[in-house]
Every structure is written in structure tokens, then in C-alpha cells.
Structure 1
Amino acid sequence: MKTLYQNTIKLILFALLTVSLQSCIKQPGSWRNDQIPGGKRDDFHKLNEQLLHDLRSSNSDDISNMESQEMLQDKSNLRQIELVGNAAKTTDYDIYDEYYIVNKHRNTDTVGNLSAGINSYKMVYNGITHEMYIALLLPKDKNLPNQEMITAMYAKYDYGWKLTSLSVNTYKINGRTAPELYTLGKEKYDKQHFADARLTLELALQCTAPNDYWQYQHDSDAGKLFQDAAEATVKQYRFPVIIDDVAGQPRVFRIGNQKNSHGWFPVIYYTTKVNIADTNAVKSENMQIGKVINKLLPGITEDKDYIFYSACSKLPLSSARVEHFDMTDKLR
């Protein structure tokens, strides 16, 4: 009975909150951050706080009470809610940008922040109802190298303000947004550090869309430059590349990006003639590789905190397991 009573109280409080948001209908337009009328903005913030609380506590019943009928009917949203909940449990989130919108069009409308320099963006979305609210949430800890954006979209129905979509996606990698990573990748490409440029542009492509509506205003064609860098890398190196400066001539056959708690960094896969079981010998050879890898792949260790290596007993040409030994080199 106690639990039932508590749930009833919560439902009543939520109903009162949604009712309080019914007033103040405006002419078509959009209001961002402190442009949103104070009382209405406070109520929206309470919705966000309730959402984050329920996500952290994995309270599916309370989250369901916040969802629109259409969102509840789409079972694919269960997975999205799980993913957003996982992100909400890892760190505290705060509002980055928020929009109260009275839609002019039924189909497509646009809001955005065009005063953020290289990170200026717009969002193109469907006007589901006449009044909507969008909250973009980022980690409170701005020093986190990898940051995910939570996007909560609410719409006002005849039965109250309800969630109409919820998502999470990558916003920053290694402390940089997609346009910032693109700029860095272009600098590396212009220096003809093609392999390093390719890896940087690959990271840029991972965070070009923090949500399904997002478009960067200064979003140069990172995809095309990535393809150019990849083709230049293949043409320049023709993998596998022999490391002539190391006895035994290990061969680099692949490069990629790998994640740890500090960010994303290069990983170098190579074949070695050293017995993989003799880990001390593998480490000794790897130390020699570390001394010359930046000469072989210019820029690969520059501005990096770590570089990863995977020494393999042979070239993996099939699905069969290949013996390997993985190492991490802390550069700074």
C-alpha cells in the first residue's frame, strides 16, 4: 500500500507539472536558453531532472509515464532508453542548449545556435505538435575527453507534455568536436602525414551527428577528406610495411583507433618473428619499434598521450585465431 501511495503521489505531481506547462501559447517562433519564459523554463527543467533521475534508477514505469503514446508503441525505443540510461549513470549531466518552440510548420522546422563559431549548428526536425521543447544535455565535467550528448525531445499533446524521442550519441572525442577534429585532420593531411590524418578524420566522422537532427554549419566534407587520406595512406605505404630499422624486420599490416579511459589513440598491428609466448622479448622488440614508428608513420605519436600495439605471430588472413600480445605505450 505504501508503494502504491508513493506512485500515486508521483503521478499527481507529474500531472500537475504537465498542466502548468499548458499555458502561455505563443505565436510561431523559437526561444533558446534564457529567452524561454522563466516559469515555463523552470517547469521544463523539472521534467529533465525527473527524466535523469528515472534513467539513473532504471525506473521503467516512471519513464513510461513520461513517454508519448507513439513513443510507447515503438518498441525500438526500449533500447534507446537503455543506452541513454547507461550514459546517465556514468556521469552527471547538465543542459548545454535548450529550445522552447511553437512550430510554424507541421513537417519540417529548424532551430540552432549560429553563434558558436566553428561549432555552430542547426537542427532540422519534424513539428510533431504545435508546441515542443528540446533539451541538449552534456556532462557537467567539461574536462572529460570523450563526451556523449543526450537529446530529449518533448511535445505538448492534449494529454500533457510528453517525451517524443530520446537519444544519446558522441559529441566530443579527445576533447574535440567533429569540426575541431576535421580541422586538425586537415592540418595533418596538408603536412602529408596521411596515416595520422586518416585516423584523426575517422574520429571526426564518429561525432558528426550528436543526434539525428544535427547539422554543423561549418561541416566541411570530412568524409571526402577521410577517403582522400585513406587512399593516400595506401598509396604511400602499400601495407604491410617493413620496419627496416628494427632487427627481425617486423611488418605493420594495419593501423586503427583504440579507446581507453583517456580517449582514442592509434593502435599499430604488426607481425613479428619473435615467439609471442616470450613476452619479455616481444616487449624488448616493441621498445625498438617505438623509437622509429614516428619516422615510419609521420605524426603518429605527435600530440598523443598513448599509442597501442598488437604484435601478431602471423598475418591474420582468415577467421582463425592468431596469437598476439597487446601493449600500451604511455607517451606523455
Structure 2
Amino acid sequence: MKTLYQNTIKLIPFTLLALSLQSCIKQPGAWRNDQIPGGKRDDFHKLNEQLLHDLRTGNSDDISNMESREMLDDKSNLRQIELVGNAVKTADYDIYDEYYIVNKHRSTDTIGNASAGINSYKMIYNGITHEMYMALFLPKDKNLPNQEMITALYAKYDYGWKLTSVNVNTYKINGKTAPELYELGKKKYNKQHFADARLTLELALQCTAPNDYWHYEHDTDAGKLFQDAAEATVKQYRFPVVIDGVAGEPRVFRIGNQKNSHGWFPVIYYTTKVNIADTNAVKSENVQIGKVIDKLLPGITEDKDYIFYSACSKLPLGAATRVEHFDMTDKLR
């Protein structure tokens, strides 16, 4: 019972704020950013500030006080709250877009921004209550190469405004959104740089849904083009393939994407006849590989800051097979 009384005391400011948002009911519609009435928007911002603060400090009791009964009952939300909390601890976030919504029916509806050019989007959501509010947050540092979007959805119940969901997902990779990566991948594909196109389109698919409601208007063919690039890569190379121009004929057997603090970049796995224990010899051979790899895989070093290599003693027979290997990073620029 002591915990209950303590939480009740903490709830007073939040309860007053939630109740202050009860008034000013509008006709059905959606209002975005500056269209939201000033006083109501200020109160929503106070809710957001409290949410981000509680997520950052990991105060589970205060977060629970903000949640709707349905959200509290769904224990899977605990993992989502943990993930969002991890995100706000690594970067400062600010509002990117926000929507105040008055639903006509409790059914699926659509809101969005059609004025963002290639990054125009719509969000399809369920009208949980008559009035709702959605806030989309992005890192304040716009120069971060990899950015995650936090989405908070609130609804007005008869017991006040409550959080109904909060989640985090990838918004940008290497400074680009999914549609921007799709356009880049399409250019690479049209140049017949199939392997490089596949890697770029793979990244596009990783950030195509920054939240559970999001749908881009301009990347609808990303999945199909990725499959086309993957099939073209298989036909062109027939892995493992010899790296011409390097003594010992190392063979590339797999390519993929790998992340570091600067972004996502290609990783090339190859077999070598050099003794893996002799790391200086492995590095020396890798220098020669770096000089010719773009001939084997056109575009693979183009517009990249890094490329990763993993030299293996033999070809793995399966995903679970462990082989001796030595990993290297080549800083291209």
C-alpha cells in the first residue's frame, strides 16, 4: 500500500495535466503541428516532456502512471518501453511531426504529410478513442548517420489522456531515408552494379517502416527491386568467385552489410590460402584485394567511407560452422 500512496502523490501533476486536455472537443478531423490549437499543443508538449524524461531516467512507476489500462495489461509493451528508453539515453530527441486527431468512428483512418517530396508518408491507425494525439520524435542532431524515430500515441479516455503505445524503429541509415536509399539503389541497378545495388536496397528495407503505422508513398517497389538485384547478383557471380589480380586467388563467397558508429557499409567474406595466424601476411594480401575489389564488384567502394573484410581459412559449410578468420576495416575516405 505504501507504493500506491507514493505513486498517487506523483500522479497529481500528471492527472491535472491530463484533465486539462479534456476540454475543447472539435469536429472530426486531423490537425498537424502549427494547426493544433496553441494551448492544447502546449499541454501535449508537457506530456511528451514528461514521457521522455521518465524514459530517460527509467522511472517505471511514473511511466505506468501515463499508460492506459490496455497498455498496462499488454506485457509486451515492457520490451518496447525498454527499447525506447535505450534510444533516449543515447541521443536527445525533438518533435519531428505531431498530430491531434478527432475520430468520427472507431475504425481505421489515415493521416500523413504529402508535402515532404520523396519522403512524403501516410500513417494508417485504428481510432481507439474519439480524440487522439500522435507525436513523432527524431534526434536533435541531424548529422547522425543512423537515426531512429520514436512514436508516442495517446488517446483520451474517460479517466484522462493516456499513452496507448510507444515504439522506436529505424528512420535513416547513412543519412538517408528508405525512399532516398531506394533511389540510390535504383541508380546502381540501372548501371548494372548489381551486388552494390542489392546491399543498398537491403538497407532501404531496414528503414522502410519507422513505426507500426507508417507507409512511404515513393518506395513501394523497393522489395521487388531488391529481389531483382539479388537474383542478378547470383547469376553474375556464382559464388565463390576468384578475385583476379591477387596472388593465391582468394575467393569471395559472401557479401553483406555491417554497422559501425559511422553507418552501415559493405562487408566482404573471402577464403584465403594465407595462414590466418600470420596476420601481417593476411593484411598484406588484403591491401592487394583492396586495389582490385571494385573491378570484381563494381561500385562497392563508391560513395562509401569504410569497407569491412573477413578473411577465412576455408569456406564455411553452414551458417553454424565456425572457421578461423581475421577481420579488417579499410577506411576509404
1:1-26 CA-partner distances (Å, limit 9, x unpaired):
x9998755431100100011000000
Give SS of 1:258's match: strand
1:19-69 CA-partner distances (Å, limit 9, x unpaired):
110000000000000100001000000101000000011111100000000
**Are 2:205 and 1:205 aligned?**
yes
Structure 2 unmatched runs, 5+: none
- Higher mean displacement: 216-225 or 321-330: 216-225
Look up the match of 1:231. Answer: 231
Look up the match of 1:219. Answer: 219
Name the amino acid aligned to 1:255. Answer: I
Distance in 1 of aligned mates of 2:219 and 2:283: 42
Percent of aligned pairs with the same amino acid: 89
Give SS of 1:257's match: strand
- Higher mean displacement: 114-123 or 2-11: 2-11
**Are 2:313 and 1:325 aligned?**
no
**Are 2:91 and 1:91 aligned?**
yes
Shift of 1:191: 0.2
Look up the match of 1:279. Answer: 279
Look up the match of 1:31. Answer: 31
Equivalent runs, 1:36-185 vs 2, <5 Å: 36-185=36-185
Equivalent runs, 1:10-21 vs 2, <5 Å: 10-21=10-21
Shift of 1:244: 1.9
Equivalent runs, 1:178-193 vs 2, <5 Å: 178-193=178-193
Look up the match of 1:302. Answer: 302
Look up the match of 2:240. Answer: 240
Name the amino acid aligned to 1:323. Answer: E
**How many residues of Structure 1 are paired with residues of Structure 2 in the alignment?**
331
Distance in 2 of aligned mates of 1:227 and 1:3: 55
Give SS of 2:135's match: strand
Query: 4+ residue runs of structure 1 moved beyond 2 angstroms?
Result: 2-10
Whether the 8 Å contact between 2:58 and 2:85 is mirrored in structure 1 is: yes
- Higher mean displacement: 19-28 or 2-11: 2-11
Whether the 8 Å contact between 2:7 and 2:61 is mirrored in structure 1 is: no
Give SS of 1:290's match: helix
Distance in 2 of aligned mates of 1:10 and 1:37: 28
Shift of 1:229: 0.2
Name the amino acid aligned to 1:30. Answer: A
Shift of 1:220: 2.9
Q: What is the TM-score with the length of structure 2 in the denominator?
A: 0.97
Q: What is the TM-score with the length of structure 1 in the denominator?
A: 0.98
Distance in 2 of aligned mates of 1:169 and 1:321: 31
Distance in 2 of aligned mates of 1:42 and 1:120: 26
Whether the 8 Å contact between 2:193 and 2:299 is mirrored in structure 1 is: yes
Distance in 2 of aligned mates of 1:10 and 1:43: 18
Give SS of 2:138's match: strand
Shift of 1:217: 1.3
1:137-186 CA-partner distances (Å, limit 9, x unpaired):
00000000000000000000000000001110000000000000000000
Name the amino acid aligned to 1:152. Answer: A
Whether the 8 Å contact between 2:137 and 2:151 is mirrored in structure 1 is: yes
Look up the match of 2:313. Answer: 313
Shift of 1:129: 0.1
Distance in 2 of aligned mates of 1:222 and 1:29: 32
